[in-house]
Amino acid sequence: MLTELIELPGGSFRMGSTRFYPEEAPVHTATVAAFAVEVHPVTNAQFAEFVADTGYLTIAEQPLDPALYPGVAPQDLVPGAMVFRPTSGPVDLRNWRQWWDWAPGACWRHPFGAASDITDRPDHPVVQVAYPDAATYARWAGRRLPTEAEWEKAARGSDGRRFPWGNASPTPEHANYQNSSPDAYDGGLTAVGSFPAGNSPFGVSDLAGNVSEWVADWYDEGVPSVAHGRATDGASGDPWNTEGVPATSQGDVRNPAGPERGEKRVIRGGGSFDPGYRLSPVKRWNAEPGQRSDDLGFRCARDAE
């Protein structure tokens, strides 16, 4: 069963921020056409339905390509994914290897390593999905991934709020996030829709905390502010599934969508081990399309009917 969609009106809003990180700037006016977005991220049960119907094998379940990992011993080129491991104390934040491990056997069925499973987590967000996995699911569902402008509009509305719920600082009632100390990690994900107090002004849930989310755009250094929305030539056989960015043709309505091509895709939203200030709707990051980890999921969108 697909996730319920919430219809959002088109129009302009203030996108971006200068409060935190350079990649979130500049603050500018963005305009999107009317669209619909799923009320919560895709769940394990929904992704399982897609896999059962198609036989799809995610990137994390496929052997590593030796050409992409020169010098790695053949016996080490096994399927797997990245898993977050909390540290016992403060670490050098410039070295991501301090808290991320490569876990052979980790995938959407075993999100925290080969010994884990999702048997009792059907309503948790699916993770360990790479960009191609998310884009393929979206096409199967007859939908697409949202652009980051659409994602931010769904998260903050049109009033420039600091968080999806408003301007009040986060509390454990708002989201699943790191909330005890800067070095603490509560661990684990929660069922989607568990924090209605943290819903956006449109009633969209889980836009802060729990999992970060893939969006359709290729990454550039600044928040996109000029490019028209567009459809890309996904039929060309691009292995990273570049299709899915919507074209807009309603007068001068724009849907900023980043560069036409790039090396990395945009990721939006804070995850379960992010501190409170990183739950802001302006948070944006990037990863190579094949990236997968236990804090990264997605939701779908579609054009307005």
Computed over every residue of the chain, the mean pLDDT equals: 83
Structure tokens at 135: 């884009």
In a domain, 192, yes or no: yes
Of 300, 271, 298, 11, the residue nearest 153 (C-alpha): 11
Pairing of strands 212-218, 100-104: unpaired
Asked whether residue 32 carries a pLDDT value surpassing 80, the answer given is: yes
pLDDT above 70 coverage of the chain, percent = 80
Asked whether residue 26 carries a pLDDT value surpassing 70, the answer given is: yes
Backbone angles phi, psi at 214, to 5 degrees: -65, 140
* Residue range 18-41: mean pLDDT, rounded: 90
Residue-level pLDDT at 88: 61
This prediction's pTM: 0.86
The radius of gyration of the chain's CA atoms, rounded to the nearest angstrom, is 18
Pairing of strands 296-297, 212-218: parallel
Residue bearing tokens 């800067």? 182
CB-based contact 129:292 (threshold 8 Å): yes
CA 143 – CA 31 distance, rounded (Å): 21
Q: How far is CA 232 from CA 37, 244, 268, in A?
A: 20, 7, 21
Question: pLDDT: is 45 or 93 the higher one?
Answer: 45
CA 241 – CA 265 distance, rounded (Å): 11
Asked whether residue 6 carries a pLDDT value surpassing 50, the answer given is: yes
Structure tokens at 85: 């491991």
In a domain, 178, yes or no: yes
* Residue range 101-115: mean pLDDT, rounded: 92
Question: pLDDT: is 267 or 100 the higher one?
Answer: 267
Domains: count for the chain = 1
In a domain, 216, yes or no: yes
In a domain, 303, yes or no: yes
- pLDDT category, 43, cuts 50, 70, 90? very high
Least confident of 14-28, 223-237, 247-261: 223-237
Asked whether residue 237 carries a pLDDT value surpassing 70, the answer given is: no
Strand, coil or helix: what is 259? coil
Tell me the per-residue pLDDT of 178-198, one tens digit each, with 9 for 90 and over.
864 444 444 479 999 999 999
Asked whether residue 133 carries a pLDDT value surpassing 80, the answer given is: yes
In a domain, 103, yes or no: no
CATH of the domain at 219: 3.90.1580.10
Asked whether residue 87 carries a pLDDT value surpassing 70, the answer given is: no
Which of 24-38, 123-137, 209-223, 237-251 is predicted most confidently? 123-137
* Residue range 42-50: mean pLDDT, rounded: 98
Residue-level pLDDT at 149: 93
Domain around 133: 1-57+125-305
In a domain, 92, yes or no: no
Structure tokens at 105: 């056997």
Residue-level pLDDT at 74: 78
Burial class (CB in 10 A: 0-12, 13-18, 19+), 254: buried
- Helix or strand (DSSP H, E) at 101: strand 100-104
* Residue range 172-181: mean pLDDT, rounded: 80
CB-based contact 274:177 (threshold 8 Å): yes
In a domain, 66, yes or no: no
In a domain, 93, yes or no: no
| Local structure of residue 126 (DSSP, 8 states) | P
- pLDDT category, 42, cuts 50, 70, 90? very high
- pLDDT category, 68, cuts 50, 70, 90? confident
CA 173 – CA 184 distance, rounded (Å): 18
pLDDT above 90 coverage of the chain, percent = 57
* Residue range 221-234: mean pLDDT, rounded: 43
For the sheet with 5-8, list strands across it. Answer: 5-8, 35-38, 301-303
